[in-house]
């Protein structure tokens, strides 16, 4: 057995005797004494050794003691008397009774050297192991983060839809698109009538990609809790507000939106006034929130106040902009004269339109009004030309003399465009109008019982019976890109009403329904009524695709007066 190292080794002969008795009790006679003797000698020899780095073991089976190589013990230590004393004490102690305590013999031994250090791994090995463990932990954290970035441990519901596919499955996009396309929002009036509307009718469009991205971004760890993701919607603000104004309120007293008025060149804000009736409370947010949930529960119109979309507080910037526009300095130079428009004149060039989606007033320039103003102030220099017809012979021929007056504004189109485009910047302008005169021009013609004379330059048309002027008209003939044909023709077909189709100058198609009092005189060129142009165009602007347009009341007169075969003479 190995012996423990210690700076002090205590040994009791009696205890050792008991040990020998228990382990060598089976021996008898000389064999037992020899074993005792050898064991005791070994003990003394071990105590004598100053440095024992090896253990001594007693082979109990062979009753031999293996002894380490140490200096020999003095002979005095191996005193038979001592051994005899131990043996006698061992024999005198009954095996069943505990041994009688005896004084212990204390052997003082020199201090043992410290045990060699336990082998440890080099420090750089521990650093490597630590770094490897940290890297593995980081990989696990990143992997978990990436998983939770696109997944949720909690179930995800999109609007009212309980997806049958994972948020990463492309089929979910189709499922969501189908649900949004079939959705209808219900509005219930007090009488119980429910009217439904699609998202498109409300000016809303589903953002499927954005909704799925939001669903993937849910990092719900509470798997027992359902995560609700609303359907993302893009809004056409103008269409959405128009829907709210038309369908979410039934006013008994209509609301009045705030507005601006211009009188005498001064701008004033008129405050809004709420109305009363049945309405969807907080319609602007309620409708959008209900649609985002794809909730089919009808929204009920209940009695209450009906708010406005344009508030007086939101018109302060519009008022300031209008004041800058009206107070800018504009001058029109005609020959030696200069004309300065007043604030009221400038106000007549503007069109103010409520913008309910923004809660403001849209300011625009009416170019026709600008043109009319320029022609009015230039009239003393241009005098509206008038054609005169004079008989020239017994054969019925006539001379048509165009009286050009003082002249025409040669840069009228450029002046109107320049003045209109720069008006809203409120920086002021100085515009020069160029006036050019022309000599009278004579056109020969033959008098007819009934005939029409069209002048595309002066934008006038005359109805004659022989040489007698019966009626004159203001016209809008073909625009510069689509001019009216010139020459002498006869009306060959007439229609009380007709839908017209054709090509624009840019190659696109146009369609004009229910054109009235049509008189075709050459191919698809006709004299007809025109209800879609402002009245101010006639006599001022050539804007048609080639036909001679007149207001419907004049067209009705021509349609009744001129039969098929009536001569139409076009010049300019």
Compute CA distances 336 → 17, 381, 435, whole Å: 151, 11, 11
- What residues contact residue 464 under an 8 Å CB cut-off, 6+ apart? 389, 447, 448, 450, 451, 452, 453, 470
| pLDDT above 70 for 32 | no
Average pLDDT over residues 202-225: 76
Q: Please give the pLDDT value at position 71.
A: 46
Phi–psi pair at 521, nearest 5 degrees: -120, -20
According to DSSP, the β-strands at 451-455 and 487-490 are unpaired
Angle at 321 between CA 316 and CA 327, to 5 degrees: 125
The strand ranges marked E within 411-459 are 429-433, 435-436, 441-446, 451-455
Q: Please give the pLDDT value at position 505.
A: 83
Model confidence at 56, in pLDDT bands (50, 70, 90)? Answer: very low
Locate 315 and state its tokens: 């018109």
Count the neighbouring beta carbons within 10 Å of the beta carbon of residue 417. Answer: 14
Span 478-500, pLDDT tens digits: 998 899 999 999 999 999 999 99
Cα separation, 21 vs 535, in Å, equals 142
Average pLDDT over residues 547-572: 94
| pLDDT above 70 for 38 | no
Q: Where are the alpha helices (DSSP H) in 388-437?
A: 412-423
With a threshold of 0.75, does the pTM exceed it? Answer: no
Model confidence at 10, in pLDDT bands (50, 70, 90)? Answer: very low
List the one residue out of 349, 490, 543, 539 whose CA is nearest residue 429.
349
Q: Please give the pLDDT value at position 544.
A: 93
DSSP string of 52-93, one letter each residue: --S---EETTTTEE-----PPPPTTTT-HHHHHHHHHHHHHS
Cα separation, 43 vs 82, in Å, equals 13
| pLDDT above 70 for 186 | yes
| pLDDT above 60 for 97 | no
Average pLDDT over residues 332-338: 85
553 neighbors 561 (Cβ within 8 angstroms): no
Cα separation, 188 vs 195, in Å, equals 7
The strand ranges marked E within 287-412 are 299-300, 302-306, 330-334, 337-339, 350-355, 360-365, 386-391, 397-403, 408-409
Q: Please give the pLDDT value at position 515.
A: 96
Pick the more confident residue, 221 or 448: 448
Compute CA distances 95 → 19, 30, 99, 151, whole Å: 12, 20, 9, 79
Cα separation, 9 vs 106, in Å, equals 7
Span 362-411, pLDDT tens digits: 999 998 899 888 888 887 777 655 556 665 554 556 666 555 445 677 88
Q: Please give the pLDDT value at position 50.
A: 42
Span 137-154, pLDDT tens digits: 777 776 655 555 555 445
Cα separation, 534 vs 249, in Å, equals 34
Walk me through the domains of the chain, giving residue ranges and CATH numbers.
8-108 (no CATH), 131-256+276-305 (no CATH), 315-436 (3.10.20.800), 448-571 (2.40.440.10)
Q: Please give the pLDDT value at position 524.
A: 94
Cα separation, 427 vs 274, in Å, equals 38
- What residues contact residue 535 under an 8 Å CB cut-off, 6+ apart? 551
List the one residue out of 327, 343, 318 whose CA is nearest residue 260.
318
Question: For the chain, what percent of residues have pLDDT higher than 90?
Answer: 46
Dihedral of the CA atoms 235, 236, 237, 243 (nearest 10)?
A: -100
């Amino acid at each position: 057995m190995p012996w423990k190292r210690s700076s002090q080794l205590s040994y009791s002969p009696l205890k050792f005797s008991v040990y020998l008795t228990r382990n060598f009790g089976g021996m008898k006679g000389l064999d037992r004494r020899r074993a005792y003797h050898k064991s005791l000698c070994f003990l003394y020899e071990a105590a004598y050794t100053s440095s024992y780095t090896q253990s001594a073991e007693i082979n109990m089976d062979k009753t031999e003691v293996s002894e380490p190589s140490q200096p020999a013990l003095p002979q005095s230590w191996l005193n038979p008397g001592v051994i005899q004393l131990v043996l006698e004490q061992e024999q005198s102690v009954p095996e069943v009774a505990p041994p009688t305590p005896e004084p212990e013999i204390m052997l003082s031994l020199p201090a043992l050297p410290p045990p060699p250090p336990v082998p440890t791994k080099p420090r750089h090995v521990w650093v490597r192991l630590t770094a490897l463990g940290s890297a593995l932990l980081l990989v696990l954290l990143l992997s978990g983060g990436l998983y939770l970035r696109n997944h949720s441990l909690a179930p995800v519901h999109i609007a009212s839809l309980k997806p049958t596919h994972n948020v990463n499955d492309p089929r979910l996009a189709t499922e969501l698109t189908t649900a949004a396309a079939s959705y209808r929002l219900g509005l219930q009036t007090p009488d119980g009538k429910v009217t439904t509307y699609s998202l498109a009718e409300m000016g809303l469009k589903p953002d499927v990609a954005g909704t799925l991205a939001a669903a993937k971004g849910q990092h719900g760890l509470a798997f027992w809790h359902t995560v609700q993701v609303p359907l993302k919607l893009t809004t056409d603000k103008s269409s959405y507000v128009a829907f709210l104004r038309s369908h979410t309120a039934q006013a008994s007293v209509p609301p009045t939106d705030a507005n601006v008025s211009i009188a005498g060149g001064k701008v004033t804000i008129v405050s809004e006034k709420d109305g009363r009736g049945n309405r969807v409370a907080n319609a602007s947010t309620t409708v959008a929130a209900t649609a985002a949930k794809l909730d089919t529960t009808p929204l009920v119109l209940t009695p209450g106040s009906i708010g406005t979309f344009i508030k007086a507080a939101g018109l302060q910037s519009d008022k300031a902009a209008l004041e800058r526009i009206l107070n800018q300095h504009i001058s029109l130079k005609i020959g030696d004269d200069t004309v300065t428009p007043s604030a009221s004149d400038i106000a007549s060039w503007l069109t103010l339109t409520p913008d309910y989606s923004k809660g403001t007033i849209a300011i625009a320039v009416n170019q026709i009004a600008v043109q009319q103003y320029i022609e009015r102030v230039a009239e003393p220099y241009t005098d509206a030309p008038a054609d005169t017809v004079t008989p020239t012979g017994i054969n019925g021929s006539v001379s048509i003399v165009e009286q050009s007056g003082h002249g025409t504004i040669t840069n009228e189109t450029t002046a109107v465009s320049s003045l209109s485009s720069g008006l809203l910047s409120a920086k002021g302008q100085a515009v020069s109008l160029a006036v050019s005169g022309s000599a009278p021009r004579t056109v020969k013609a033959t008098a007819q019982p009934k005939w029409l004379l069209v002048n595309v330059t002066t934008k006038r048309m005359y109805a004659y019976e022989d040489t007698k002027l019966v009626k004159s008209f203001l016209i809008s003939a073909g625009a510069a890109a689509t001019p009216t044909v010139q020459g002498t023709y006869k009306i060959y077909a007439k229609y009380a009403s007709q839908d017209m189709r054709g090509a624009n100058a840019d190659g696109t198609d146009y369609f004009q329904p229910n054109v009235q009092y049509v008189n075709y005189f050459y191919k698809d060129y006709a004299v007809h009524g025109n209800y879609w142009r402002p009245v101010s165009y006639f006599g001022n602007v050539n804007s048609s695709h080639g036909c001679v347009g007149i207001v419907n009341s004049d067209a009705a007169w021509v349609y009744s007066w001129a039969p098929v075969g009536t001569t139409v003479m076009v010049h300019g």
